[in-house]
Structure 1
Amino acid sequence: MDTEIQGDDFEYKSGYLKEDFLLFHIKDKVNKEFDFHYHDFNKIIIFLSGKVTYLIEGKAYYLKPWDILLVNNHDLHKPIIDISEPYERIIIWINLKFLEAHNYDKCDLQTCFNLVNEKRINLIRLSNDAENQLRYLISMLEASLKSVEFGSKLLSKTIFIQLIIYLNRLYIGENYLKDSKALKYDPQIDNILKFINENLNKKLSIEELAQKFYLSRYYLMHKFKEETGYTIHSYINQKKLMLAAEKIREGQEINKVVYECGFTDYSAFLRAFKKMFKKSPRNLLDEE
């Protein structure tokens, strides 16, 4: 794997996670503004200390120590960091295939991430008891990952699954948000984002969105950029291309994917795909 530390996050050059999961414990002071970015894997961010606001899909989360953010693959996100204090966090990258391999009857380990998409709340804010349990699991996981004793790799996977089960229980139990001051967003833009992500197989023009949500074209474009950091056209295009890449990795026929992701012109799709991923759709599977 080829990675670079980029302050809050890691730039994953290939964009594709081959390991079951990776954990990074980072503490630093980085004087840098970060761009919105996404991953092809799910991510857990455990905020430990500092002054950080995290932006995820049009929502701003004001974090407290031991807050947890669940970030789905393809969620556009970035931190806004106050460098007056060191920023400490734990970041865990998760290979969805690993979770799928450990699903059992009535126990889908991706449930919490699926519910994030449904409820559109990424934050889990813990009670004191829940925080103590999380601290225990994280300390056990970090210790096992550093260990070279017999069975340490298997033990790490076992503790990681325990952690995922615990986070699922917290989210299913609706412990995902208790403080309204922790979250700021525009409900109207949130509904538009939800509509876009549920209809990526359609053309989705600015005019149609403005008409559907009873907004002027200018106001929609201005408010969307203000709340998300993206123009509507750029957001829709990137989301469609992310979906197309996912379908191609799953083995679907490229011509069919182009149609299913709402593109009407293959040449335009190909140019946009190469610009975003720096490779053609047919070469995308080379990273597998």
Structure 2
Amino acid sequence: MTSPRFRDNARYWRTPLLPGADLLTAEYHDHAFTPHWHDAYTIPVIEAGAEAYRYRGSRHVAEAGSVPIINPGELHTGSRAMDEGWRYRVMYAPVEFLHTLAENIAGCAQPLPWFDADVIRDRDLALRLSHAHRLLEANGDPLAAETAMLDALSTLLVRYGRTRPATLPLAHDDARVVTMKEQLASDLSAPLKLADLADTVGLSQFHAARLFAKVTGLPPHAWRNQVRLQRSLGPLRAGASVADVAAANGFTDQSHFTRHFRRMFGVPPGRWQSS
């Protein structure tokens, strides 16, 4: 007997108990997330079904009871790994919050927490994260919810928190990519041609585009759209209209913005905002 398939349904929400965080309760069947990143730590717990995603050059499958952590700023995708789809709960925990919690646990200064690419298969941790997420969503006893949240996140940090591997000094090509990123992100509403990027770093258009995609995993226009989407969240939270946010961040029109937003967040911006 086959299990009933999940449907595309997502709800984003926030709680004062985890300041600055977005939280997600969702199930998906048809939706597939295009390559994207988040500025926060992505902390999901798969409750049913299974999700497939590409991360750090490999394909991973996270089944029910697993915790597939994504570090901030790291490119990844997401889609169903089985016919039924998947259901999960996600905390997008701000970097500063998790860093402070790590320092509180250690009782001294700590580097930013970092997590290995492998899917975490720890049933106890998954149950703690799911329990905390449900209490936060229920908006009931704040003492119980906050206690459960800190218990779950501290368990994650103690068991699986690592230090990010030391990075080598920037090579000449990496420095060129940094320069191109700065130009792409400086004024998101201004039109920009590939020739402008190439001239800035002294390369041909072909070589500039190829270098950028090799280092970042995205072509320049797609990387720029990701920055636009990240910067759109603050104004949307503040109540700005979707049309105004789209125009301010350089999207050609509201439908263009909505299409890209949905690919990244699984819901259109108006629905994300109303949540």
| TM-score, normalising length: structure 2 | 0.51
For the residue of structure 2 that corresponds to 1:123, the secondary structure is coil
1:272 aligns with 2:263: no
Q: What does residue 81 of structure 1 align with?
A: 80
The count of residues paired between Structure 1 and Structure 2 equals 227
Give the Å deviation of 1:158.
1.3
Q: What does residue 70 of structure 2 align with?
A: 70
The aligned amino acid for 2:104 is C
Q: What does residue 152 of structure 1 align with?
A: 141
Q: What does residue 128 of structure 2 align with?
A: 137
Q: What does residue 151 of structure 2 align with?
A: 162
2:135 touches 2:144 (CA, 8 Å); kept in 1? yes
1:49 touches 1:89 (CA, 8 Å); kept in 2? yes
Superposition RMSD on alpha carbons, in Å? 5.7
Give 5+ residue unaligned stretches, structure 1.
177-187, 250-268, 279-285
Query: Which whole-Å CA distance do the structure 2 matches of 1:11 and 1:145 have between them?
Result: 13
The aligned amino acid for 1:106 is E
**1:136–1:89 Cα change, 3 Å:** closer
Q: What does residue 51 of structure 2 align with?
A: 52
Q: What does residue 239 of structure 1 align with?
A: 227
1:37 touches 1:77 (CA, 8 Å); kept in 2? yes
**1:146–1:218 Cα change, 3 Å:** closer
Give the Å deviation of 1:137.
1.6
The aligned amino acid for 1:272 is G
Query: Which whole-Å CA distance do the structure 2 matches of 1:60 and 1:192 have between them?
Result: 26
| TM-score, normalising length: structure 1 | 0.49
Query: Which whole-Å CA distance do the structure 2 matches of 1:224 and 1:163 have between them?
Result: 38
Give 5+ residue unaligned stretches, structure 2.
1-5, 165-170, 238-246, 259-272
**1:205–1:143 Cα change, 3 Å:** closer
CA displacement 1:14-42 (0-9 Å, x = unmatched): xx9464456555555x1344445566755
> Matched residues, percent identical?
16
Q: Select which of 182, 191, 209 maps to 1:221.
A: 209
CA displacement 1:196-233 (0-9 Å, x = unmatched): 79857779986798799998743663586699774313
Give the Å deviation of 1:134.
0.4
